[in-house]
Amino acid sequence: MTTWNPTQYLQFGNERLRPAVDLMARIPLREPATVYDLGCGAGAATALLKDRWPSARVMGVDGSPEMLARARAQRQDIQWQHADLETWQPDGQCDLLYSNAALHWLDNHDALFPRLVSLLKPGGVLAVQMPENFSAPSHTSIAEVVRSRPWQAKLGPRLRENPTLAPSVYFGLLSGRVSSIDMWETSYHHVLQGENPVVEWTKGSILQPLLAVMDEAETKLFLEEYGQRVRKAYPQGPDGKTVLPFKRLFFVAVK
């Protein structure tokens, strides 16, 4: 099991929260009674959900004890649940299932998304954001380094090269099960500080499952090789800042 590091993840907390806010802004619900944040992490977006609907029963669900410990320390007016999203079930039908940058970690989307819709009340909403940056150097360089050395046998099974499907696939999965779908893509251009900030960004997300199974020497060598590649792809500007373009897919489906 991957151990998630809240401090590493939240190093770019504002940048990671921005798509969560953009997704939330398009949810067409006035007073939902039950709200679940699936893959809530350290709970920053969950807190915003609670602030928007203070009378709702808001629950953050995540598989990382470390992330949930951070979330619980921040907000006691939210229910936090440790659960595997592969098998998670709510205790009744929901008004809102919200998920920001989490469901791409799960497989079998052709079964996952119809199942999530089935958990909604009539008029309920499934609101999802997932990364679409897997063809960019920030992500393709990971696979290149994995395949460059004997550690491929150990790391290869943990690669997630294309976990987010085409928008048309999700539209097909949802269209016969919901009354409306609002779907869009956004490319953010994050301006980051630091010597090689793209490495620090991915260390908090897509690299975590790989780093979790490497020893200290392997980790050092891996990050050196990966860092060289992304430094060329995302050069530091004369002002010391680095621009990271990052594409994301959003959809808000009303049952």
Tokens 């800042």, located at residue: 241
pLDDT for res 9: 47
pTM tops 0.85, yes or no = yes
CA distance 170 to 189: 25
Each residue's pLDDT tens digit, 51-98? 999 999 999 999 999 889 999 998 999 999 999 999 999 999 999 999
Instruction: Share the mean pLDDT of the chain.
Output: 93
Local confidence band at 3 (pLDDT 50, 70, 90 cut-offs): low
Sheet containing 34-38, strands listed edge to edge, beginning at the edge strand earlier in sequence: 79-82, 57-62, 34-38, 94-100, 120-131, 241-254, 180-193
pLDDT for res 11: 54
Lowest mean pLDDT of 10-14, 46-50, 180-184, name the range. Answer: 10-14
CA distance 72 to 20: 19
Check whether domain 6-254 has CATH 3.40.50.150, yes or no = yes
Angle, alpha carbons 194-199-200 (nearest 5°): 60
